[in-house]
Amino acid sequence: MAASSPLPSLQGSTIVVRPYIDSQPTKCCTRCRKEFPETSVYFKAYKKGGFAAMCIDCTARNSAAKRAKEQRAQWDVSAETNLNGRKRRALGGADPNVQRKAPRLAPDGPVRWDMASQHTKDQMRAAAARERENRYRRNNNLPPISSRSPEADPSTVSSILFPSQTPPPPTPPPAPTKAPISDTDWSNINTFHEYLSNQEMETCGRCKERWFHMGLSNGVCGACLRRDRNLPRGAPFLFSRDNNMDPGVVPECLRALTQMEEMVIAKAHCHMIVKRVRGHQYHYTGHAVCFWQSNVTFIDALPSRPEHVDIVLLRPHGARMDEERYKRQFKNDFRVRRGYVEKALHWLKRYHPDYRDITISQPNLLALPVDGDVSDHVLNIEESEEMKDTEPGRQGDSRACGEEDERGIDGNIPGPSQETVVPNLDILQTEAELLEEAFKKRRKLPTAQAPAIRQTPIDELGRKHRLFAMCFPTLFPYGAADWHQGRMRNVSLADWAEHFLKFHDGRFGAHPRFRFLVFNMLMRKKAQEASGFWVKKRPDLLGLSLDELKELLGEESTLLKSIVRSGATLTGTRPYWRQKENGLKATARYFGTTGTVFCTWSCADHQWDDLHRHLPRYVQRRDGTDEERRKIAWENVQRFPHIIAAWLDIRFKAFLKYVMTSFLGLDDYWFRYEWQARGTGHIHCINWMRDSPAMGARTPDQRKAFAQYWNTKVTAVNPNSTRPADARNPASLPFIHICNTDEQVAIFMNRFQMHARCAPGRCLRKNKTTNVVECRFFFPRELQAHALVTKSINKKSWMFGVERNVERLAQCSPVMALEWLANTDLQPAVTYKGLILYVAKYVSKPEIRSASYQELQEQILPYVSDRRPIASFAARLLNKLIGERDWSAQEISHILLKIPQQKSTRLCMVLDCRPDHAQDRHIQFDVGEAGEDMAVKEGLSAYKRYKMRVEHASGGEHLRDRLRDCKQPILGIKSTHTGQGAEGANDDEADGLDPHLCICLGARVMLTDNIWVENGLVNGSMGTVRDIVWNEGQDPTKDMPTAIMAEVDDYEGPKFPGTDCIPIFPVTRRFEYKKRDCSRTNFPLRPAYAITVHKAQGLTLKKVVLNLERKDHAPGLSYVAISRVKKLSSIMFETPFDLSRFTTKVSSNMKDRERDWHLRTLQCL
């Protein structure tokens, strides 16, 4: 394409990007018969309304043809006139009666240079180009982009007068200016944007997802075809109504509710929202953080009063909330309309199964405003004067060089607040208690009467209730499709969340709190799995007491590091990025001194036209004013972070494929996503190129060759540094308006690449050697006439300094700037040491600077449980690592959509190179004496480790919690033993006697021995502890009781006089343990609140509450559990379960096996 074309798409360019075709009416040109959007960009607009019949290109060609025809006609008339004149002159010379007429050699008056009759073909094209530029400027409010130097512009001399007798000599056309981007790179950029313009969101008719790259086949997406392949007969599709995965259509009465209205009608509350109000001294907008609570609150009387909703409003010091500038920040969030709330409750009571038993409280309903703001009714806390405008873990402005604050909205526009979440996984206190403790020294919190509620610990909730359906009634209006419900085909929580984020109507992705609840549950599950896996690898630590654990942590520093490393599977945490950093360093060591460049790209989520084409109100944003455009963009970014997260990933991968691979000659890369303080994504990437100069240039010639190579790709020369910034952000322009000119490069440089100012907390740092405050980006920099590798920029290391004409211009690549349309950075690595020590740490750094692991250890140890201390410490430490920072909506959406946060062309694997005896194993084998059968030892050890599965420990946790509910002192009775190592035997090996028995008054117990068969005191008999007896002189804190008085159910035999109890005495059982004769003495009892299936074998029970949520770790366990009763009406299932719980996955060749078995059977007959 010619570099002088101001609008390449209208000058015969190969660009075919048409971003408006699918979003507005089209019109067919009457001449070329091509379809174009019906806008002033393609058709001439009349002042009275309407558009021309022909497109602009055809109109220009038609006008040029008419002018050429008129000129030919004028030439014919002139030639005929001249011929007739010669004839008249000849006749006139002979006949005096004929009047003579002198020929006209020049027109009347002076000749103007811009007259059509005086134009050459090139001059006419230049005039047409200027006309189109003016038309685009009038219609699109864009500044004209000059394509030629002002000296050669005919408009600058259009008013010069020439003598009337001689026409001016033709001026040669100006030489075309050199384009800043080569034709190859510009063609790749066009291909990239053409790819983006062809991206459309598609809808699957089976799963009802609407997303990118669906791969539809007959209306069904490729993911559904893969999931439902080889589906058994009668089984439903995974994401279908038959499998309880269709939440239904939201009725109008629920769709119109505000967030506050939804919270007052929600039956379950599991989080607290803290909203921070923007004060006049703050530069950022209102911020909302969700803290997930330890208990789920169920409310039976609805609606809730606004003061009972778990919302805290932090207001600036000395601010009055009745002022309009504070109210408008959360105007939509705190709006409550009584009529809408009442109508929604009646609808839910009729159609939602969880709302059928609620009571609609008329006093609470009348307390709501007819239509008003209730922000003054929620809990308000005034911030102290010394509190700074910083978020936890962040200091100052963390924006990159040249990145402007896109959040700014005019003060009259009520922009919504930014939503983040702080996962509450290490639950020690309720959020109300934490807030009260934090603010009690500043302001006494107001008291209010609590509503009629009931609380259930979230860990015990399991799948007993439809938690999502009760917390978010506007998302699940019929109570269907909740993850906690049972279904024929099992759906994991991660797949369930991803599916509903992609749901066709977009209501799940746009909800400000739904994604946070799912994320909190997923991270809690991952932390439990990671800590449990680590504990299984260290069975030697299970017997440690709390004091021994503290002593071990103080002596053995590797133990804490080992636990932290187990959290590498927790995406986004410090251990996760530490593992990625180690992998990156290993990759860098593998490539050695291969040419390397470090790149950064920012996401202009408020500006990109190709992004907002997939968001609502696109046409209104495109054709609106600057104020309307900013408001619509801000609302879309806040409501649809999942679409932005997915589009950033799609855009960057296409950018690597179509542009960067050709531009830099990439061979390998490593990149990661990062989210800054306001939640906008960034991409950091390290690229290796074998054709570029290697790192570690030692000689001047090598450094000179390095500088010359990179000077062709990186620049800090601004073609027009004095050009003022445009009123409209250039990143918001459609690519059809971007030109390959120096002026366009200057526009982007002045907008995105300027390091405008240095400020504390942003880039200013104190030099530890000189104690001088300096910019960590080394700005301002000296001007340079040519590129070189120097130490003048950074005294500690060699750096590449490009040719520079502006002191505060961050070096960039014009190819990256005009293609990415946002802030970019490109830094070639000069030395291998600098890459390892600086780039690797910067790229793989965690999101915030956090406390040390030793500090976290000191915070956790006071709350570690004395039961299995090592497991409690590991779980709390990993949970603490997750909850030490807030997570933005875009980052959470990125994780829920299963988009990798880091990706590389090289896979890094960890190999344990230690000797075999020193390597960690899942099962630690006992080392036997010489001559023993080691296979037997290994088998016994494996069986012992197998019996320590989490499934066997779950019953004990429930028993201890139920004993605490008795609100009586719990007595721990230790067994007495004889024989070496007898205390290590479990209850099965000791003939049913537990090594440690915990009971209390009022506790339910079960006999584990046949005491008196004739009167019904048999194994499995149930009873209640009424008293505990010691002999005179015994110490209850040390000695075993003499007897336990228990009231046994359905016992009709002799009883202790004056009571309904019978005494239970200790018994002694002899057994063999490790080839030694041993004995154990204790009471033949155990708490009867829960029992494992293994211990229930042989029992016949009257009624059973069964939990089948987990799969059987051994065949037949579910059958044994169900068969403990005589009829099915005596069983209640505690949680719902899926049909796949009882079915096995059929292999692809199972049908062939069945057919073969059938044929063989016929042959035998």
pLDDT digits (tens, 9 = 90+) for 422-447: 555 444 444 444 444 444 443 333 33
167: in domain: no
Residue 363, number of CB atoms within 10 A of its CB: 8
Confidence of residue 876 (pLDDT cuts 50, 70, 90): confident
Half-sphere exposure of 973 (CA within 13 A, CB side): 25
Residue 513 falls within a domain, yes or no?
no
The predicted structure's pLDDT at residue 1125:
86
Q: Which residue has the tokens 């089209």?
A: 26
In a domain, 1014, yes or no: yes
Whether residue 500 is predicted with pLDDT greater than 60 in this model: the reply is yes
The most confident of 124-133, 191-200, 412-421, 438-447, by mean pLDDT: 191-200
Confidence category of residue 421, pLDDT binned at 50, 70, 90: low
Supply the pTM of this predicted model: 0.69
Q: Are residues 594 and 706 in the same domain?
A: no
> What gap in Å lies between CA 633 and CA 611, rounded to an integer?
10
More confident residue, 815 or 6: 815
User: What's the token pair of residue 966?
Assistant: 């008795």
The rounded distance, in Å, linking the Cα atoms of 476 and 143 is 49
DSSP 937: H
User: How much of the chain, in percent, has pLDDT values that exceed 70?
Assistant: 71
Residues 6+ apart with CB under 8 A from 828: 595, 596, 597, 598, 692, 706, 710, 714, 800
Does the pLDDT value for residue 117 go beyond 50? no
Helix axes 889-896, 493-501, angle to 10 degrees: 120
Q: What is the band of 22 on the pLDDT scale with cuts at 50, 70, 90?
A: very low
For 39-105, give the DSSP string.
STTTEEEPTTS-EEEEEHHHHHHHHHHHHHHHHHHHHHHHHHHHHHHHHHHHHHHH-TTSPP-----
Report the distance separating Cα 234 and Cα 375, nearest Å: 53
Q: What is the mean pLDDT of residues 291-318?
A: 76
For residues 1124 and 1059, state if they share a domain. no
- Least confident window among 14-23, 520-529, 838-847, 1122-1131: 14-23
Confidence of residue 216 (pLDDT cuts 50, 70, 90): very high
Assess whether 636 and 709 both reside in one domain: no
Please check whether residue 732 lies inside any domain of the structure: yes
389 and 284 in contact (C-beta within 8 Å)? Answer: yes
Q: Which of 1061, 1077, 1092 is the last residue of a domain?
A: 1092
State residue 837's pLDDT score. 75
pLDDT higher than threshold 50 for residue 591:
yes
* Mean pLDDT computed over every residue of the chain: 77
The position carrying tokens 């009387």 is: 301
Q: In terms of domains, do 604 and 542 share one?
A: yes
The reported pLDDT for the residue numbered 291 is 57
Tell me, yes or no, whether 918 and 955 share the same domain: no
Query: What is residue 1035's predicted lDDT score, i.e. its pLDDT?
Result: 86
Q: Is 408's pLDDT higher than 70?
A: no
Q: From CA 554, how far away is CA 922, in angstroms rounded?
A: 26
What is each CA distance from 386 to 314, 393, 436, in whole angstroms?
14, 17, 19
Pair 412, 360 in one domain:
yes
Indicate if 305 and 436 belong to the same structural domain: yes
Which pLDDT does position 390 carry in this prediction?
44
Label the pairing between strands 668-675 and 681-689.
antiparallel
Pairwise pLDDT comparison (397 vs 124), residue with the higher score: 124
Q: Which of the residue ranges 44-53, 296-305, 848-857 has the most confident prediction, judged by mean pLDDT?
A: 296-305
The larger pLDDT score, comparing residue 645 to residue 1055, is at 645
Per-residue model confidence (pLDDT) at position 284:
32
Output phi, psi for 964, to 5 deg. Answer: -65, -30
Are residue 759 and residue 677 in the same domain, yes or no? no
Q: How far is CA 764 from the centre of its chain?
A: 30
Binned at pLDDT 50, 70 and 90, residue 982 comes out as confident
Which residues make beta-bridge pairs with 821?
Answer: none
Question: How many domains, in total, are found in the chain?
Answer: 8
What is the distance between the alpha carbons of residues 877 and 1065, in angstroms, rounded to a whole number? 44
What's the whole-number mean pLDDT along residues 937-959?
44
pLDDT at residue 936 tops 50: no
Residue 851 has pLDDT above 80, yes or no: no
Q: Does the residue 508 lie in any domain?
A: no
CA–CA separation, 849 and 57 (whole Å): 58
**Among 179-188, 277-286, 680-689, where is mean pLDDT lowest?**
277-286
- Which of 89-98, 117-126, 504-513, 1153-1162 is modeled with the greatest confidence? 504-513
User: 905: pLDDT confidence band, cut at 50, 70 and 90?
Assistant: very high
User: Predicted confidence band at 36 (pLDDT cuts at 50, 70, 90)?
Assistant: confident
Which residue type is seen at 271? Answer: H
Task: Name the least confident of 230-239, 459-468, 1110-1119.
Answer: 459-468
pLDDT in the model for residue 815: 94
Q: Say whether pLDDT at 828 is over 90.
A: yes
- Cα separations in angstroms, 371 against 153, 334, 363, 652: 63, 10, 17, 46
User: What are the residues whose beta carbons fall under 8 Å from the beta carbon of 138, sequence distance 6 or more?
Assistant: none
Strands 379-382 and 268-276: unpaired
pLDDT of residue 1075: 80
pLDDT at 927 over 50: no
Residue 745: per-residue pLDDT: 92
Domain that holds residue 524: 518-692+829-876+886-910
Q: Is 172 a domain residue?
A: no
How close are the terminal C-alpha atoms of the chain, in Å? 82
Is residue 745 packed enough to be buried (19+ CB in 10 Å), middle (13-18) or exposed (0-12)? buried
Instruction: Give Cβ neighbours of residue 413 (< 8 Å, ≥ 6 apart).
Output: 627, 630, 631, 634
Q: Which residues contact 356 (CB under 8 A, 6 or more apart)?
A: 349
pLDDT of residue 133: 61
Q: With 0-12 CB in 10 A as exposed, 13-18 as middle and 19+ as buried, what is 99?
A: exposed
In whole angstroms, give the CA distance from residue 611 to residue 604: 9
Between 908 and 926, the higher pLDDT residue: 908
809 closest CA partner among 879, 855, 756: 756
Label residue 1068 left, alpha or beta by phi (over 0 means left) and psi (-120 to 50 means alpha): beta
Clarify whether residues 872 and 916 are in a common domain: no
Burial classification of residue 866, based on how many CB atoms lie within 10 Å of its CB (0-12 exposed, 13-18 middle, 19 or more buried): exposed
Residues 19 and 134 in one domain: yes
What is the structure's pLDDT at 957?
62
Whether residues 708 and 676 fall in one domain: no
Q: Is 330 in the same domain as 463?
A: yes
Asked whether the predicted pLDDT for residue 156 surpasses 70, the reply is: no
Nearest-angstrom CA–CA distance, 212 and 926: 55
How confident is the model at residue 153, as a pLDDT?
Answer: 43
- β-bridge partners, 790: 799
> 641-655 and 183-197 are packed helices; what angle lies between their axes, rounded to 10 degrees?
150
Q: Where are the beta strands (DSSP E) in 537-631?
A: 595-602
| Residue 171 domain-assigned (yes or no) | no
Q: pLDDT tier at 998 (50, 70, 90 boundaries)?
A: confident
Distance CA 950, CA 952 (A): 5
Place 894 in a pLDDT band, splitting at 50, 70 and 90: very high
Pairing of strands 764-766, 773-775: antiparallel
Closest CA to 542 of 958, 816, 870, 58: 870
For residue 932, give the 3-state DSSP assignment: coil
Least confident interval from 155-159, 598-602, 674-678, 770-774: 155-159
Between 92 and 1093, whose confidence is greater? 1093
Where a domain ends, among 230, 265, 294?
A: 230
Residue among 210, 248, 207 at smallest CA distance from 469: 248
Confidence of residue 358 (pLDDT cuts 50, 70, 90): very high
| 983 belongs to a structural domain | yes
- Sign of the Cα torsion 335, 339, 344, 345 reads positive
Q: How does pLDDT run across 645-683, given as a tens digit for each residue? A: 999 999 999 999 999 999 999 999 999 999 876 788 999
Q: Which of 511-525, 859-873, 951-965, 1042-1056 has the lowest mean pLDDT?
A: 951-965
Provide the b/e sequence for 1114-1148 (b: ≥16 CB within 10 Å): eeebbebbeebbeeeeeeeeebbbbeeeeeeeeee
Q: Is the dihedral of CA 552, 554, 556, 559 positive or negative?
A: positive
Instruction: Confirm if 424 and 883 have CB atoms less than 8 A apart.
Output: yes
